[in-house]
Copies of this chain bind each other. A is one copy, B any other.
Amino acid sequence: MQNIKAYMQQTGQQARAASRIMAQAGTNAKNCALEAIARIIVENSAQLIAENAKDVAAARANGLDAASVDRLTLTDKSISSMAEGLRQITQLPDPIGEISDLKYRPSGIQVGRMRVPLGVIGIIYESRPNVTADAAGLCLKSGNAAILRGGSEAIHSNQAIAACVHAGLRAAGLPETAVQVVSTTDRAAVGELITMREYVDVIVPRGGKSLIARIAEEARIPVIKHLDGICHVYIDDEADLEKAIRVSDNAKTQRYGVCNAMETLLVAQDVAAKVLPPLCRIYLDKGVELRGDEASRKLVAKMKAATEEDWRTEYLAPILSVRVVAGLDEAIAHINTYGSQHTDTIVTENYSKAMRFLREVDSSSVMVNASTRFADGFEYGLGAEIGISTDKIHARGPVGLEGLTSQKFVVLGSGQIRT
């Protein structure tokens, strides 16, 4: 325990020192490092797979479930996709140093804002080794230093990837300590990481809800967090029903286990009889279990009764809750009560109702006539994302490079004084 504290303090000090150098690093140096890391990762595939095999064997021996073992396993394909992800980050514009809104003030000074890195980012994630490379790449490009703490099941894989990251940083003349991967699996290291206020500026947890909730509870540093994704589609009585069916189908069934999939469908009562039967037939054909309120169940036979709990549940599975509402007001009230401020869509042709939905639904993404599945850094044009924030402070929605930066004020004068 004493040793873990000292180790993490040293890690923090090194990260703080590296962050000062990274903040000044030029775009070329950062891109060179990203390309070198990508190249070195591919060159060392065999080594990475050998180290990963130790983790996989231990995970199997410890009875880890098949899906988790799958996420843990590195293959030639997943390694080249890691490298490709890093190369894509080199293509993103460098946000650092950008000056915006420079305007003259009556005093004669010009005032604007310059984008700067946050400093040191702590990232805590589960046993997906690809996150080590992704997160390192985003922090590096945004001029930050990173302390990465991956799941203990991936310790050998993460250390092997860390060695590649360090070699790439060295090759570009940047400090290795710009990306540090915590080398102990002791949980006390997380406790230190999320409370070292002098060395860490923000924590980004990536993983299951319980991990994130625990970190948010215990952290003494700002956390960019993403809890539930209880996303809604509301089919308005003035919806184009063809769009409604297409969007509602896609939002639920294009992928089930993702945070931006729809979990609850709301339908205006005036169109419920028309839209629910054909839409629910699609769901049932695809094997989606339906749980509805009384009004929905009168229209669709194969529907279980939804409980209050269903409205609050992120299934991440082929299950959908369905509710008939009087209209827009009831839909907005339902979403603001039961939703998780992630992503919600209205399907309507009515301009005023679309505008009200955009304004009044209190979620990080609000949409009109588009699938909730679009809530994603790539689809929004941000490039890779470090996560999706359902918070309001600092960052909301998909968090890309810009979410890892801040803005300071710059004042350009010619000798002005205040009178």
Does A415 lie within 8 Å of B246, measured CB to CB? yes
Does B411 lie within 8 Å of A406, measured CB to CB? no
Given A222-B393, A381-B105, is A370 in contact with B412 using a C-beta cutoff of 8 Å?
Answer: yes
Given A393-B201, A397-B409, is A415 in contact with B369 using a C-beta cutoff of 8 Å?
Answer: yes
- At the interface with chain B, which of A72-80, A84-92, A127-135, A356-364? A356-364
Point out the residue from B114, B249, B392 that lies within 8 Å of A359, measured CB to CB.
B114
Given A393-B222, A409-B366, is A111 in contact with B416 using a C-beta cutoff of 8 Å?
Answer: no
Does B373 lie within 8 Å of A411, measured CB to CB? no
What is the predominant secondary structure among interface residues of chain A facing chain B? Answer: mixed
Assess whether A298 is interfacial by the CB under 8 Å rule: no
Assess whether A27 is interfacial by the CB under 8 Å rule: no
Closest to A347 in B: B415
Would you list which residues of chain A between 215 and 269 have a CB under 8 Å from chain B?
222, 240, 242-243, 246-247, 249-251, 254
What 1/0 flags go to A378-419 for Cβ under 8 Å of B? 011100000000001110111000000011111111111111
What 1/0 flags go to A281-309 for Cβ under 8 Å of B? 00000000000000000000000000000
Number of interface residues of A (CB under 8 A): 67
Point out the residue from B202, B408, B414 that lies within 8 Å of A243, measured CB to CB.
B414
Closest-CB distance, A212 to chain B (whole angstroms): 14
Q: In whole angstroms, what is the CA distance A416 to B374 when docked?
A: 9
Point out the residue from B119, B254, B417 that lies within 8 Å of A418, measured CB to CB.
B254
Point out the residue from B201, B365, B418 that lies within 8 Å of A392, measured CB to CB.
B201
Does B409 lie within 8 Å of A380, measured CB to CB? yes
A207 neighbours in B (Cβ, 8 Å): none
Does B107 lie within 8 Å of A365, measured CB to CB? no
Assess whether A276 is interfacial by the CB under 8 Å rule: no
A119 neighbours in B (Cβ, 8 Å): 392
What 1/0 flags go to A81-110 for Cβ under 8 Å of B? 000000000000000010000010101010
Given A368-B412, A413-B369, is A97 in contact with B359 using a C-beta cutoff of 8 Å?
Answer: yes
Assess whether A169 is interfacial by the CB under 8 Å rule: no
Assess whether A23 is interfacial by the CB under 8 Å rule: yes
Identical copies of this chain, number: 2
Of the listed residues A247, A364, A396, A416, the one surrounded by the most CB atoms of chain B closer than 10 A to its CB is A416
What 1/0 flags go to A323-337 for Cβ under 8 Å of B? 000000000000010
Q: In whole angstroms, what is the CA distance A414 to B348 when docked?
A: 10
Would you list which residues of chain A between 8 and 40 have a CB under 8 Å from chain B?
20, 23-24
Closest-CB distance, A142 to chain B (whole angstroms): 12
Does B406 lie within 8 Å of A396, measured CB to CB? yes
Point out the residue from B336, B359, B370, B415 that lies within 8 Å of A109, measured CB to CB.
B370
Binding site for B on A (CB under 8 A): 20, 23-24, 97, 103, 105, 107, 109, 111, 114, 116, 118-119, 201-202, 222, 240, 242-243, 246-247, 249-251, 254, 336, 345, 347, 358-360, 362-371, 373-375, 379-381, 392-394, 396-398, 406-419
The 7 closest A-B pairs by CB, nearest first: A370-B413, A250-B417, A243-B415, A367-B411, A373-B418, A394-B394, A365-B409
